[in-house]
Structure 1
Amino acid sequence: MAVLKHLLSCFIVCVTLQAQAQIFKQKTNPEALYNQAVQETKQGHYGKAIELSRQALAAQPDFIDQELLLGRLYMLTKQYDLSRKYIKQVLMKNPTYRDAYHYAINVELSSGRYEEALCFADEALYHFPGSLEFMLKKLGILDVQHKVYQGNNLAATLMDKYPQDTLVKRAYIEHHMVSGRYYQQLGNNGMARQSYDKVLEADPRNAEAREAGLAVALKTGNYSGALDQVNDALVSSPGSYDLLMRKMSILQEQHDYANALSVLQEILRKYPSDGKVRALETSLRMEAAAYYTNTDPLSLYQGVLEKNPGNREALDKVITWCMVRGNYREAMVWINRGLKNSPNDTKLLTLKLDALEADRKFSTAADLAGLLYQRSPNPSLKERFIFLQTQSGREFLAQQQNDLALATFERGLDMSPEDTTLLDLTANTYIAMKDNNAALRVTEQALKYYPDNEKFLLKKSTLLAETGKYEEAAAIAASLASRHPNDARMNNNLTDLLLTSARVLMKADEFDLAKQPLRQVLAASPGNREALDYMINLQSATGQADSALWYAGKALEYYPNDRDLLLKKASVLQEMKDYNGAAAITGELSNRYPYTLKYKQAYISSLMAAGSAYQRNQQPDSALAAFNQVLALNSKDSLALLYSINILNGQQRYDSALAYADRGIKFYPGNENFQLKRAITLENKKDFAAAALAADSVVKINSTAANIDYHDYLESKTLKNQFGLYFLHSSYDYTDDKYNIATAEYRHFFRRGSYAFRLNYAGRQTGNGLQGEAEMYYTHNPKLYSYALLAYSNKVVFPQLRASYSLFKTFGKDLEVELGGRYLSLDSVTSFSAVTSVAKPFGDFWVNLRAYFISEEGDFNSSFNLTTRYYLNRRQDFVTLIAGLGTSPDDRSRLIQFPQLTGLLTHSVGAGYQKVFKYRTTVGLFGTWINQKVSDAAYRNQYDIYLVFQRKF
């Protein structure tokens, strides 16, 4: 009992130590620590995550993902100096690590270091030109710094490039709201108003911008502008109490008491129970009465016109005062009254033009300006007409009425086809309508007037790219980049175009053409990651593995620890059949990142390729070593198991092959391949009973004809006995006698061959002939076997004694040679024969030439026999053709006449077919024609039919 307790204690200690070792191993594994740190971060356990991260970095100092996570954790815990340290380390190791730039910018923003944040944003845009997220980041930083002009340019660029992107639109609006508030704080109300107007252009319903703009307008005394804003807002909310009250207040501030009272009446109609409004009615009327009493010049001039409507001076004064006060619509009423009497009055028409423009009725104003220009062409009117057409088109664009905007711009271009603003707006409108071809035509028209205008050149380049003409687009971009070699925007634009051109060509499978733009990119920027990636892929795709390897090496000079590039280089080496070189790289990656599945799979792929190459080069030991490395990484790899089984079978290491087959069956119990390999291996071991059982399992998994046939074949190999019946019928053209022989046979198979006993029976008028035969085939080794036969009879029909022996030797290329002898004793005649033959297979054909050299009572003769077979069905069935010259001592149908036939010129031709059913039952039919020359003028013929039946059991 004490011994049992001692053993139990030892077992518990061992298990505990093993568990602790496993736990310690897991904890010290950098990848596992990293994953655990990520989970702790998600749960907000930042302190625990930092501790795990530091452990991971202590185990693997170059773990770049872990360094970035630690930098983020220090940022989350507001330890900005430490955070900044780890993030900078990451960027020094990998300047294109996108997430690192996000954290770097956030750290500097959080710590109020806006200039550093802006530097990181610019650096990110250098590595990721045109990146929307980093451009938005930069815009946010500029807003925090109140760098309004730079922010305006960047915001405008974003809106031009992404006009439909809601995120960009939101950022654009927020930028101008921030700018407006900033200018309000500075007291710069004009700039504030411009910012709020930009917001309203992008989002006409933005309540905050409308309120802020209105406040600015009121503060600066721009009541007409404020009134316009309120009126615009009332279009969408005509019954708004607040808007109506604000409109009344503005009219009151303008001393436009008539309209103020009108609005007040509208409010009273909509809100009759509002006491505040009723109280305002009295005070507003009292204020109006006091203001207009004998003081208001507008009222005085209006009074003059009431008494004398044709007084032109009074009319001009009334219009002027209305315009001064911003009452453009009232001014329009008086102008139209004047035009009824003088419709062609130039001054009134000019005043009307001013009023329409001031009231933002640009379309109507443009029509009027055009009419005035036709009457009196002058540069000033022309310029004004172009301006009004431009403003009118912009209004239509703001309302998304692109067709009307186009028509307006085109009217302006009819008068001034070289106007850059109209040309640019027209092209942009076509672009917004997705009609790039039309936009391109307009841009080309602009370049006819301004061939060196970089704005239009850049636009043309962009449009050419949009229409698929990348080469032309790149040529323009290259020209612009050469003018401004230090302009990152121009260089980035060229790079983008060349890369896009390469992508399109690659998509069209024009790999050789795609290389040219990529070479241009690399000439300007040798370290461009995307171009290097594409060049590696293209060189591989076009069979230029050496070039692909060169580009992979060049890329790794710029990005030495880049995992994807290392993997790509390994792929190229594998393509070049340098499997060991590929395995060295993938093996290192797999060791460095043991939990990253793709590196492990790549390593396995390299080892499998190396093993297959060793197999092809007849290096089985090296191949087996490679496959064992695969199985060490993945013990369930089916291909490695199958290939290993094949090699071991080839080396006759059948027990090892069986062990691998059993492992495959364990992992893949329903896979027929491993069961089949087990059966083949057992067959090679000559263990046919076990092989047949394995083949039966294959049939149960997949009962194909081939699998069933193989099972039948192996099953037949377990049968050791065979029963046979043979019948030979001979007839002659020179006698009515028939010569028939019936034979019964028993054969037993053993490991080295077989032996058989036969009984031959032939009936004659002279009596019944019986002959007993004993026959043996014996295999000495795979290249050498013997054949022996001994027969004895009662001499009635058969020779009294017959003996045969042959030794068969197989040489190279399956050439088989026979040497042997024959003995016959018949009546008083004794015959000795030497036998030799040569046999050779040719695919499914088999040819045998046998010669007999016969000595009979001092006479010497020879006989020759040529046999050909064509095998079918795994060499089980065959069709045969036989030709003979002379009478051989193996010819059973003529042995009884052997002494009489010796020396006669004899020809024979035979044919036959033998069929095996399920490797057990054999049937055959053979026929022979024999022609003998008896004398110079006499021939006789013999006809043989031979039937065969055999059955294994």
Structure 2
Amino acid sequence: MKNGLIYISILLLTPYFGVQNLHAQSINTDSLIVALVADTRDQKNPQEIINKAHQALKIAPEYWDYYVVMGQNFERIPVVDSAQFYFKKVIENTDKYPEVYNYLINSEITNQQYEAAFSTIEKAKTTYPEKASYYDEKKLRIYNAQGDEKAEIELLEKLLNSGSEDKFMKDRYILLANKIKNDRIGFQYFNTSFNRDGYGPWNQFVLQYIRSRKWGTLVTNINTMNRKSANEADVNGMQFEASAYIFTTKTNYVFVNSAFSNNKVYPKYRLGGSYYFNLSSKWEMNAGVRFTQTTNENFTSIALGTGVYYKAFWFNLSSFYQIDQDKVNPAFNLTTRYYFGSRFDYLYSILGYGTSPDDDATAGLYENRVSLSSYRMGVGISKTIQTHYIVGCQFLYNNQEYVADKRQNEYELMLSLQYKF
């Protein structure tokens, strides 16, 4: 009888202790994954983490957090095949871990498994359509690694037009856009009027051809000028100008410029160059020199500048330093652009001080103005119309000292039209 009571007691208590044991295992499994995630984050021994995770999976084979931890730590060893096996195991069985797609895609890109990465990206976009743009950004890494600049710029334009304000993408897009093959012919008209009686207006016409290739961009101009004055005969002139932007690395480039003329409306010769280099995905610096030969004098200027992207904005500060008889004559220009489409679609503003050797409209008077003060401000727009046409308009106000202690107001209107083919 006593043995019977013992047997019955065992039967009654076994379910209780079994449940308690399973519950204890569940608690231990939960506690362990928290510890292993922390160890992974702290970069502790990956093999020890894998061993502990493997033991936990024997107790809870569908506890997907352990598969994630296993994949992360096999990636650290690295054992790529095993890492990707555990990431794929999670993806095949649950959609609760979107970060695992990121781990797997990064692993495939790092190991140059580009076709597999494209496939994983498309699956991720199907599973999480609200994150489609995020996963498309992964494709940019692949195109960059493959050197497929055409595919990269097409995707960049799509992402930027969809509302992305990523600074790196905008910087990269503008850089690549300058390397994509295209040709443009254009025409510009400048009208400058003055508040000084009997002086002006000035009219300048520019015929332009721009050729962009993978190596860089070539710009050629034919500039013509007519200056009127009530007290003297009209002054007319023509200038031939060529500039080039030549890439030296994926992000750095050289700017060179030359121009010549045989009349006093423009300088006789102008030569210059600057080297542009990127400090990061946002900042660009440049340094160079300008040489200007007028009818009576030669001038050499140092050019320094910096530019930065912030969201949809681009800020550029350029400065020039002309040393003349132990005196430094500086000139500054701050240009701000707001991009609202392609690299040809933007609003811009200009603030400036002094006379720059790069200013075509006043280049013929450079020797007269370089030591005099001036303050300018302006606004403008550039806009693409029907794919092939780029139109522009700018208004600039300049308060100019024309002789010592005497000033005049100048109002410049610029209209431009380019055809892109």
> Same-fold call, TM > 0.5?
yes
Name 1:121's counterpart in structure 2.
8
After superposition, give the CA deviation of every residue in 1:619-676 in whole Å (9 maximum; x if it has no partner). Answer: 8x86978743525757869854543444676x6x7xx152332442686796775666
2:66 aligned to which of 603, 617, 620: 603
- CA gap 1:116/1:622 in 2 versus in 1, 3 angstroms: same
1:760 matched to 2:223: yes
* Alpha carbons 1:915, 1:922 under 8 Å: kept: yes
2:151 is equivalent to residue 687 of structure 1: no
For 2:149, give the aligned amino acid: F
Q: List aligned pairs for 1:767-786, cutoff 5 A.
A: 769-782=237-250, 784-786=252-254
Secondary structure of the residue aligned to 1:887 is coil
The answer to whether the 8 A contact 1:628-1:640 is kept is no
CA change 1:883–1:610 in 2 (3 A) is: same
Superposed displacement of residue 740, structure 1: 2.1
Cα RMSD, aligned residues only: 4.5
Largest Rg, 1 or 2? 1
Q: Deviations over 1:367-413 (max 9, x none)?
A: xxxxxxxxxxxxxxxxxxxxxxxxxxxxxxxxxxxxxxxxxxxxxxx
TM-aligned CA deviation for residue 848 of structure 1: 4.1
What do residues 877-912 of structure 1 show as CA deviations (whole Å, max 9, x unaligned)?
555443333222112221122233232232223333
Q: Which amino acid aligns with 1:681?
A: I
How many Å apart are 1:805 and its aligned residue? 1.1
Please name the residue that 1:733 is paired with. 195
- Which of 34, 41, 63 is residue 572 of structure 1 equivalent to? 34
CA deviations on 1:849-895 (whole Å, 9 max, x unpaired) are 43333367x69551321304254448945554433332221122211
Does structure 1 residue 628 correspond to structure 2 residue 84?
yes
Number of the residue aligned with 1:468: none
Which moved further from structure 2: 725-734 or 735-744?
735-744
Name the amino acid aligned to 1:789.
Answer: N
Shift of 1:117: 6.5
Return the offset for 1:775.
0.8
* CA deviation string 1:142-200 (max 9, x = no partner): xxxxxxxxxxxxxxxxxxxxxxxxxxxxxxxxxxxxxxxxxxxxxxxxxxxxxxxxxxx
Query: Whole-Å Cα distance in 2 between the matches of residues 833 and 793 of structure 1?
Result: 18
Task: Give CA deviations for 1:266-311 in whole Å, capped at 9, x if unaligned.
Answer: xxxxxxxxxxxxxxxxxxxxxxxxxxxxxxxxxxxxxxxxxxxxxx
1:907 aligns with 2:363: no
Contact 1:675 1:695 in 2 (8 A): no
CA distance in 1, matches of 2:406, 2:8: 115
- Aligned residue number for residue 183 of structure 2: 721
**Structure 1 or 2: larger strand share?**
2
State the 1:732 CA deviation: 1.0
8 Å CA contact 1:631–1:640 kept in 2: the answer is yes
Identical residues among aligned pairs (%)? 19
CA distance change for structure 1 residues 635 and 739 in 2, over 3 Å: closer, same or farther?
same
Q: Please give the per-residue CA displacement for 1:73-108, whole angstroms capped at 9, x wherever unaligned.
A: xxxxxxxxxxxxxxxxxxxxxxxxxxxxxxxxxxxx
Deviations 1:244-277 (A, max 9, x none): xxxxxxxxxxxxxxxxxxxxxxxxxxxxxxxxxx
Matching of residue 793 in structure 1 with residue 253 in structure 2:
no
What SS does the aligned partner of 2:53 have?
A: helix
Of residues 909, 925, 936 in structure 1, which corresponds to 2:393? 925
Aligned to 2:120: 664
Deviations 1:424-466 (A, max 9, x none): xxxxxxxxxxxxxxxxxxxxxxxxxxxxxxxxxxxxxxxxxxx
Classify 1:751/1:636 alpha carbon distance in 2 versus 1 (closer, same or farther; 3 Å): farther
Shift of residue 794, structure 1, vs aligned partner: 4.5
Q: Show CA shifts across 1:506-536 (max 9, x none).
A: xxxxxxxxxxxxxxxxxxxxx8965994xxx
Cα offset, 1:835, TM superposition: 1.9
- In 1, the alpha carbon distance for the partners of 2:288 and 2:373 equals 24
Q: What displacement does 1:723 show?
A: 3.4
Is residue 2:54 matched to residue 1:587?
yes
CA distance in 1, matches of 2:221, 2:374: 29
Q: Structure 1 or 2: larger helix share? A: 1
The CA deviation at 1:121 is 3.2
- Structure 2: distance between partners of 1:605 and 1:774: 59
Q: What runs of 5+ residues in structure 2 fail to find an aligned partner?
A: 228-232
The residue that corresponds to 1:643 in the other structure is 103
Q: State the shift of 1:788 in Å.
A: 0.3
Q: How many pairs does the alignment contain? A: 389
CA 1:888 to 1:690, structure 2 compared with 1: closer, same or farther past 3 Å?
closer
Shift of 1:777: 1.0
The offset of 1:574, in angstroms, is: 4.2
Gaps of 5+ in 1: 1-113, 130-526, 534-554, 556-561
Kept after mapping to 2: 8 A contact 1:924/1:948: yes
User: Are the aligned partners of 1:728 and 1:741 in contact in 2 as well (CA < 8 Å)?
Assistant: yes
Superposition TM-score, scaled by structure 2 size? 0.72
Q: Aligned-pair distance for 1:749?
A: 2.2
Question: Cα 1:859–1:666, aligned 2, differ >3 Å: closer, same or farther?
Answer: closer
Q: 1:660 to 1:948 in 2, by over 3 A?
A: farther
Q: Distance in 2 between matches of 1:937 and 1:635?
A: 76
Q: Tell me the TM-score normalised to structure 1 length.
A: 0.35
Residue of structure 1 equivalent to 2:274: 806
Aligned counterpart, 2:320? 852
| Matches for 1:325-474 after TM superposition, within 5 Å | none
Q: Which has the higher contact order (CA 8 A, sep 6+)?
A: 2
Deviation at 1:944, TM superposition (A): 1.4
Cα 1:862/1:777, change in 2 over 3 Å: same
Alignment of 1:834 onto 2:301 = yes
Give the SS at the match of 1:898.
helix
Tell me the amino acid that sits aligned with residue 588 of structure 1: Q
In the alignment, does 2:327 pair up with 1:865? no
